[in-house]
A and B are shown apart, each in its own frame.
Chain A
Amino acid sequence: MRAFATLLDRLAFTPGRNGKLTLVRDYLANAPDPDRGWALAALTGVLSFDAAKPAFIRKAVEARADPALFAMSYDHVGDLAETVALIWPTKHGSNREPELSEVVDALRSASRAEVQRLIETWLDALDADGRWALLKLLTGALRVGVSARLAKQALANLGGVAVSEIEEIWHSQFPPYEDLFAWLEKRSDKPSPDAPGRFRPVMLAQAIDEDKDFAAYRAEDYAAEWKWDGIRVQAVNERGKRALYSRTGDDISAAFPDVMDFLSFEGAIDGELLVLREGRAGSFGDLQQRLNRKSADAKLLTKFPAGIRAYDILVDGADDTRSLTFADRRKRLEHFIARANSPRLDLSPLQPFGSWEELRALRADPPEGDPQIAEGLMLKRWDSVYEAGRPKGPWFKWKRDPHLVDAVLMYAQRGHGKRSGFYSDYTFGVWREDANGDRALTPVGKAYFGFTDEELKQIDKFVRDNTIERFGPVRSVRADKDFGLVLEVAFEGLQRSTRHKSGVAMRFPRINRIRWDKPSREADELPTLEAMLEK
């Protein structure tokens, strides 16, 4: 438990992706089986417990600590699990610290009453960091900023293999993953991926370079289709095993029972998960209502019905079609979707075109219907096989131009690592008129990339020279009608949000240009943004 606790502790404070990868890889390299397998299961979300409710933990600690002292401590620390971890009295001479695998075994097999008794003995035996890690494990969410994808990347780094190799066999492997570690440590062969209903690593597109690529490639070699604004999914039904996977192989079946019910085929398809109402695609904002949930209730299913717009086929009946050309797969896919005849499954149509110029015009002015809310276009080489990863050449994405808005810098936060000592994360706002007719800035987003190192230095200097207040690592900067720094912000889309004061939330905002020349009072107003809202 100690090594796992140390890992969670370091992860919680490590902001950078590379740092997290090193920490997870080193842990996996050094911890013994089966502990590391259980840790991997917890980090990837394969394993989650709901063994103790906050009320139980609170009751247990109040039996050991004076309620007044507990209240003062909770007030000071601000987080229940952390307060309990810190205040729980050390019991000298208690049992040795439990190993992670012992804890997991007990949680999986013991009765609830028995588990509660065990929890108290574990808390007695662990130190503060161990207690904190245990409480995180018991209450479900680790929340240390590690995605399943990141954990798999760390695993790939451990074995010196591509992450797609891990993804390919992931769904045939189960915790504590001893076969997987044996292969990565070259003690045995690669485990067989042959599990019905497994995930296949997806093929990704390169962003097109308009200046170079159109000269290098011929239009007739490529098919074009619209780039749908949902999430990439893989839907599988093989020998009775159905599953819906995200593009990184996370199983999201439970949240989409409406889609699962209609996977009436034998095979595996690649497509876009969208809100589909009688054949028309909803916005990304609609789909977002369905994302990041463990399940979906009836009301949500009626209001935001999900479906799949298919664009590729990986398995057709018993045939693995990934080695066929895109042209052949497309023919198969068209028959497959027609045969499935499912109301939650349609085909992403191809967009005929004669030349790159013609396609450019289509992209700038998409035809009536769903293409108008597409993110842009996808180009796929007719003769390309389905290849995991992001090869250069067979698939391109050609996004439509981003939205642009002029906003005023309001707050800046210090960065980490290479940006340590620089104010590099910027919150910006636009003008809004309040009830009295006064104009005030309202924050509409936050961005931390899109500028050069030189520009970072300049903005940093501006922040330091014009600081009004400091709150920990954040500074507010002078921003009023007579003075302020205008940032041209690019973003992909705008949605309504009840969580933001301005009522809008941007997708992928980044700093496009710094408008040193533009007076702050001439920055955009909230109604300008509201007009860009996705319908």
Chain B
Amino acid sequence: MPKPESVLCPSPAGLYCPPGDFYVDPVRPVARAVITHGHSDHARAGHGAVLATPETLAIMQARMGDGFAGATEAVRYGQTIERDGVEITLVPAGHVLGSAQAVIRAKGMTIVVSGDYKRRRDPTCPPFEPVPCDVFVTEATFGLPVYCFPDDGEEIAKLLKSVAQFPERTHLIGAYALGKAQRVIMLLREAGWDKTIYVHGALANMNTLYERFGVALGDLAPATTEKKKDFQGAIVIAPPSATQDRWTRRFADPLIGFASGWMRVRARARQRGVELPLVLSDHCDWGELTGTIGELKPGEVWITHGNEDALLRWCELNGQKARALSLVGYDEDEGEA
């Protein structure tokens, strides 16, 4: 069998497929790109041609405007297209709306670039589908055994209990604009919170887009028009940066929460001045990462970025061939985790 690097190899612009002449999630402008999902560190403007799911293309257009790429090609989940003898299939990754794994088949070999993914249920997107492969390319954002995320329901219950305990305060929850915000809203709806949820202006765009793709978010209102007192007892969702700043002054005695996998470690929560950490991530925790590798048993695991040392160590202990690509340009720390 040929070397997998002849089908896909790391380069400064990102993962490159020489026979198909395209990049996956390139970090600088290229002629042809396959984009796994719409987060800004994966989906950038200025490529010649972009291939992605219809949802991801819509997200890119909404965030970057009409001219974000020279040409676009929408490929539905499960649909296979061919590029110079290379087959590309997009398969659900379970990360955010439209997120996909890029399954690349060439020279008798299958390489799966999983992008960002998670294994637990998400009411806003279809679940990750495991694809048997020779090389599995994974991230390792939460690649340490301390990252074992609790059940989503418990975290949402924690929020609702706090709202009941502190009805005079405004619960202001930081959540990333694409994916996390809508997931938190949906989880609240599933837990029976049917009141109006107030949202920061920066989320309106993505909320509308999710609704257009059939994710019914319930009664939302901008967190701008009401009087201070009217937000008492309310839940407000905002981008994390807004919960840290002057914007919060419009609320009476806000109680600040943050929905992120990073909240698993106390020091991180304390550092951000978070009073209600909610451990909710759109990435895999340690168990999901190692479980996925154990389930797929690929010939090789390639780790793009994150805490790769610990995941490499796990692969070594479990007789799994693995290498770290140490790609740069993907957020590890304060990104959309």
Contact = CB atoms under 8 A, between A and B. Distances in A.
Contacts of B248: 420-421
B154 to A, nearest CB: 9
Contacts of A66: 313-314, 317
Contacts of A472: 271-273
A90 B148 contact: yes
- Interface of chain A: mostly helix, strand, loop or mixed: helix
Given A15-B275, A22-B165, A26-B165, A83 B249 contact: no
Interface in B62-109: none
A78 interface: yes
A69 B273 contact: no
Contacts of A128: 148, 150, 264
A86 B313 contact: no
Interface in B39-79: none
Interface stretch (A285-293, A411-419, A509-517): A411-419
A19 interface: yes
Interface in B108-155: 144-148, 150
B247 to A, nearest CB: 7
Interface string A2-31: 000010001011110001001100100000
Given A19-B166, A73-B144, A77-B146, A416 B273 contact: yes
Interface string B148-180: 101000000010001001100100000000000
Contact of B254 (A14, A22, A417): A417
A82 B246 contact: no
B3 interface: no
Contacts of A15: 275
Contacts of A65: 145
A421 B246 contact: yes
A78 to B, nearest CB: 6
Contact of A473 (B148, B254, B271, B277): B271
B150 A127 contact: yes
A416 B248 CA distance: 10
Interface of B: 144-148, 150, 158, 162, 165-166, 169, 244-249, 251-256, 264-267, 269-277, 307, 309-310, 313-314, 317
8 contacts: A13-B270, A68-B313, A69-B145, A69-B314, A127-B150, A417-B253, A418-B253, A473-B273
Given A127-B150, A416-B273, 12 more contacts: A10-B276, A13-B274, A66-B314, A66-B317, A68-B313, A72-B307, A76-B146, A77-B265, A86-B265, A416-B275, A417-B253, A418-B252
Interface of A: 6, 10, 12-15, 19, 22-23, 26, 65-66, 68-69, 72-73, 76-79, 82-83, 86-87, 90, 127-129, 414, 416-418, 420-422, 472-473
